[in-house]
Amino acid sequence: MRHLLHDLAARIRPDSRITILTGAGVSAASGVPTFRGPGGIWRTYKPESLATPAAFERDPQLVWEWYNWRREVLSQKQPNEAHRVIAAWSRRYPNFSLITQNVDGLHERAGTPNVVRFHGSIWEVRCWNRCPHSPVQWSDTTVPFPQIPPRCPHCDGLLRPGVVWFGEPINPAVLQRTQKSLNCDIFLTVGTSAVVYPAASLAHAAKACGAYTVEINIETTPSSNSLDLALAGPAEEMLPSIEALLA
């Protein structure tokens, strides 16, 4: 393992264009449950009854109870070493991009600016009716909401969480920023099961653009064999080890 980490560290230069894609595994050490795997959210809850527009239409109360509960849990969690190393790299490397599938806001709280939030943010809301008086989406960090489901302050209709549910498209502006950052020297995919599309295709797209592609995960994923390097281990240990070699 040590020589693999050395090889990777040797590739990282001050002017390297570095792009990182993160998934739920990056927040696991902060105590945030992942979606799949042991203890994963989808082991207890069915995605189709909570994370689809149809689920919200059917039972907005249930869906909001779930998101309200997750917001309460998240408000008590702190960024971990993986978030902190990524934040340090965002300050050090001028050509650095972070794309996260996580909606938890922990990268921002660790100090990474300009995070590309591929699946939105649990700390944002928007009007379900898309009423003309409200912005498309806005920040609301109230925990817990005094009323479930929360109501649009402009039209009194339902609010929905500002996240991307199954069957919903990725925001076009987010896709545009993502596309730009695929043109990089090193693409790291960290703590994601690489089964949810289109996020799962990003490492392959970066490789097709010429990037050296690296996976950091405690398990193998459908991408492990097709990337240039698969590092088996926890993000909160592997990233600090790489950082120590860079110093």
Q: In the window 13-32, what residues touch ligand BJW (CB under 6 A)?
A: 23-25, 28-29
Instruction: Name the residue nearer to ligand BJW (CB basis): 40 or 155.
Output: 40
CA distance 232 to 27: 17
Among 32, 98, 125, 164, binds ligand BJW (CB under 6 A): 164
Please tell me whether residue 235 binds ligand BJW under the rule CB under 6 A: yes
Minimum CB–partner distance for residue 234 and ligand BJW (Å): 4
CA distance 178 to 225: 23
Give Cα 237 distance to the centre of its chain: 19
CA distance 39 to 201: 25
Does residue 119 have an active-site annotation? yes
Q: Are the C-beta atoms of residues 156 and 185 closer than 8 Å to each other?
A: no
Helix (H, G, I), strand (E, B) or coil at 213: strand
Instruction: Name the residue nearer to ligand BJW (CB basis): 94 or 244.
Output: 244
| Token pair recorded at residue 220 | 């193998």
Radius of gyration of the chain (CA): 18
Among 21, 217, 230, 243, binds ligand BJW (CB under 6 A): 217
Instruction: Name the residue nearer to ligand BJW (CB basis): 69 or 94.
Output: 69
Please tell me whether residue 101 binds ligand BJW under the rule CB under 6 A: yes
Token look-up 């109870």 returns 65
Q: Work out the number of other CB atoms within 10 angstroms of the CB of residue 122.
A: 20
Among 14, 38, 135, 169, binds ligand BJW (CB under 6 A): 169
Please tell me whether residue 197 binds ligand BJW under the rule CB under 6 A: yes
Pairing of strands 229-232, 212-217: parallel
Among 4, 9, 40, 205, binds ligand BJW (CB under 6 A): 40
**Selected catalytic residue, list 107, 119, 133, 204:** 119
Minimum CB–partner distance for residue 17 and ligand BJW (Å): 23
Q: In the window 133-152, what residues touch ligand BJW (CB under 6 A)?
A: none
Q: For residue 237, give Cα distances in angstroms to 50, 81, 228, 234.
A: 32, 8, 20, 5
Q: Work out the number of other CB atoms within 10 angstroms of the CB of residue 28.
A: 20
Which residues lie near ligand BJW (CB under 6 A)?
Answer: 23-25, 28-29, 34-37, 40, 51, 101, 103, 119, 163-169, 191-193, 195-198, 216-219, 221, 234-236
